[in-house]
Amino acid sequence: MKKSSVSPLCRAALLLLAVAGPGAAAEPYHLINRLPIPGDYGWDYLTADSDARRLYVSHDKEVVVLDLDTDRIVGTIPGANIHGIAIAKRFGRGYISCSDPGSVVIFDLKTLAVLDKVRVGDDPNGIIFDDKTGRVFTADRGSKRLTALDAKTGRIAGMRASSSGAGAVS
């Protein structure tokens, strides 16, 4: 008789998951509404601000801002080759990574007005705000480095090349 390499505890856990899993599942996702956004160019990231009830949609040449309660476009923020959007609520600012010319557009969260444009590495794509450090980080694919911005001042706090040269961030 061959002994199983799976422990009795592991088997019990798998059995529990198999039995409880399907019954514990929430309702499946379903379509609530369709929101047409004008323009014939590409899409990239979506960023939701649940407190302000806004959805930021990167749309190549601009960020389209939707009000999630009215399902209406409330404004746009211009840019070029736009990728990601990061929100820093405590500073009242948003940050947009733009590949052309390798910059971050800083905007006011209330008015959506552009406040500044900061040159970072080549082809920034991923962007995120870290509330603990008060910094905005971009993953610059073209220059294979990370850039940190001080979210309060908008100034570059540092740049670091990826040790592998891959420039990946997760």
Q: What is the pTM of this model?
A: 0.78
Q: State the pLDDT at residue 21.
A: 53
Count other Cβ atoms within 10 Å, centred on residue 49: 16
Report mean pLDDT in 10-residue bins for the chain, 170 residues: 50 51 68 84 89 93 95 94 96 94 95 97 93 95 90 91 58
CA distance 140 to 46: 19
Q: State the pLDDT at residue 43.
A: 83
SS3 20: helix
SS3 10: helix
Q: State the pLDDT at residue 9.
A: 53
* Amino acid in position 157: A
Q: Which domains does the chain have, with CATH numbers?
A: 46-161 (2.130.10.10)
Of 71, 41, 47, nearest to 59 (Cα)? 41
